[in-house]
């Protein structure tokens, strides 16, 4: 089968490898749609495992089932999670599925930028979901990133009527914007440095859009009755974004670090001010099976117009071009690879 093999962000090669053989409890999936995630182009994180077939935002059709698989059959349309929790460790039992060691070590074989993948038994058991008829394959490719956004806002306890500041209007920022709007947020403010993405933020419902090179904290307070934002969501790894977040959050508010910076970067927090003003700083990484289920339900109910976020649909041999689009972050939002084209 054909795969797009990652060597670095500027070197993604079309190569051949055998179709994975499946064993008991496993399934073979023909991949129809595979989204390129911002984390796929996080080169410092990915390059140490290169060469590797990346891609984890996938949907497809089951073409083979191993002995003992009862819930699925060939022809089923599915989404498969690449990371799944054990559901039995201390962390899972206390609701912290995304720090479970099993979640950090599970994956499918190979990645999503391939014609086929093998889902191991544990992924079949707790990470494979049937796609509703109302959800297309390309819409289903949003399940994983949307599930991560759902978990982030759930952890941050977003409430109706709150003012939300989204710093960074890439795909994660736009999903946060759409979900916050669907969940009843009051005023939504978005920032970016790209005119293309700022225009997209306006189109997807931001009440106020700010050039991130401006005085963001001052602009937020001017737009919000001299108050900061109740919830600030950082969706870019730029260090200045985290500094802006700390300066833009209101008393009693929350800063949600949805993105990360380069390794070793430390962020000074005005601890006394945060203590006195009751400010919370939270991280958010990955998602749980519950979040994936909620994402599927939201997509099935047409609550988020994700199809409108797709700016590029590429064949497998064009995956390298897709990486350049996503890494460059200019006139692209969501890039979908279609391995069967």
Task: For the beta carbon of residue 34, count every other beta carbon within 10 angstroms.
Answer: 32
- Classify domain 2-147+287-338 at the CATH class level: alpha beta
**End-to-end CA separation in angstroms for the chain:** 13
pLDDT at position 41, please? 96
Whole-number pLDDT of residue 332: 94
Report the pLDDT value the prediction gives residue 125, as an integer from 0 to 100: 98
For the entire predicted model, the pTM comes to: 0.97
Whole-number Å distance between alpha carbons of 74 and 79: 14
Q: Could you list the pLDDT tens digit for every one of the 341 residues in the chain?
A: 999 999 999 999 999 999 999 999 999 999 999 999 999 999 999 999 999 999 999 999 999 999 999 999 999 999 999 999 999 999 999 999 999 999 999 999 999 999 999 999 999 999 999 999 999 999 999 999 999 999 999 999 999 999 999 999 999 999 999 999 999 999 999 999 999 999 999 999 999 999 999 999 999 999 999 999 999 999 999 999 999 999 999 999 999 999 999 999 999 999 999 999 999 999 999 999 999 999 999 999 999 999 999 999 999 999 999 999 999 987 999 999 999 99
State whether the Cα torsion 70-72-75-81 is positive or negative: negative
d(CA 319, CA 335): 9
pLDDT reported for residue 329 = 80
Q: Which residues contact 267 (CB under 8 A, 6 or more apart)?
A: 239, 242, 243, 246, 261
Both tokens of residue 334?
């969501």
Q: So where are the chain's domains?
A: 2-147+287-338, 157-283
Kindly compute the dihedral angle of the four CA atoms of residues 166, 167, 172, 176, in this order, to the nearest 10 degrees: -10
DSSP string of 176-242?
HHHHHHHTT-S-EEEEES-HHHHHHHHHTT-SEEEETTS-HHHHHHHHTTT--EEEEEE-S--HHHH
DSSP state of 41: G
> What CATH class does 157-283 carry?
alpha beta
pLDDT for 162 equals 98
Nearest-CA neighbor of 327 among 58, 43, 46?
43
Q: SS3 for 292-319, per residue?
A: HHHHHHHHHCCCCCHHHHEEEEEEHHHH
């Amino acid at each position: 089968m054909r795969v797009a093999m990652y060597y670095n962000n500027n070197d993604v090669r079309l190569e051949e490898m055998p179709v994975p053989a499946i064993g008991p409890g496993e399934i073979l999936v023909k991949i129809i749609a595979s989204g390129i995630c911002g984390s796929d182009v996080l080169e410092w994180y990915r390059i140490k495992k290169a060469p590797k077939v990346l891609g984890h935002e996938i949907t497809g059709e089951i073409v083979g089932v191993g002995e003992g698989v009862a819930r699925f059959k060939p022809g089923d349309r599915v989404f498969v999670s690449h990371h799944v929790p054990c559901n039995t460790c201390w962390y899972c039992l206390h609701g912290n599925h995304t720090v479970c060691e099993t979640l950090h070590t599970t994956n499918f074989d190979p990645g999503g930028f391939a014609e086929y993948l093998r889902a191991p038994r544990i992924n079949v058991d707790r990470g494979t979901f049937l796609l509703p008829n109302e959800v297309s394959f390309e819409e289903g490719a949003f399940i994983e990133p949307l599930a991560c956004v759902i978990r982030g806002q759930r952890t941050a306890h977003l409430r109706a009527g709150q003012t939300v500041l989204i710093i960074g209007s890439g795909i994660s920022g736009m999903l946060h914007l759409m979900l916050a709007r669907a969940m009843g947020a009051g005023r939504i403010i978005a920032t970016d440095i790209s005119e293309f993405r700022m225009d997209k933020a306006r189109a997807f419902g931001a009440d106020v859009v700010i050039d991130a090179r401006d005085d963001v904290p001052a602009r937020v307070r001017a737009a919000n009755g001299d108050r900061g934002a109740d919830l600030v969501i950082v969706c870019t790894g730029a260090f200045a974004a985290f500094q802006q977040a700390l300066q833009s959050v209101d008393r009693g508010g929350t800063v949600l670090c949805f993105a990360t910076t380069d390794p070793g970067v430390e962020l000074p927090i005005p601890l006394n001010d945060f203590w006195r003003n009751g400010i919370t700083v939270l991280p958010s990484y990955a998602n749980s099976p519950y979040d994936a289920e909620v994402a599927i339900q939201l997509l099935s109910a047409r609550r988020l117009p994700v199809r409108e976020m797709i700016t590029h649909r590429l064949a497998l041999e064009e995956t390298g071009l897709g990486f350049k689009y996503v890494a460059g972050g200019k006139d692209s939002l969501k890039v979908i690879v279609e391995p069967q084209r």
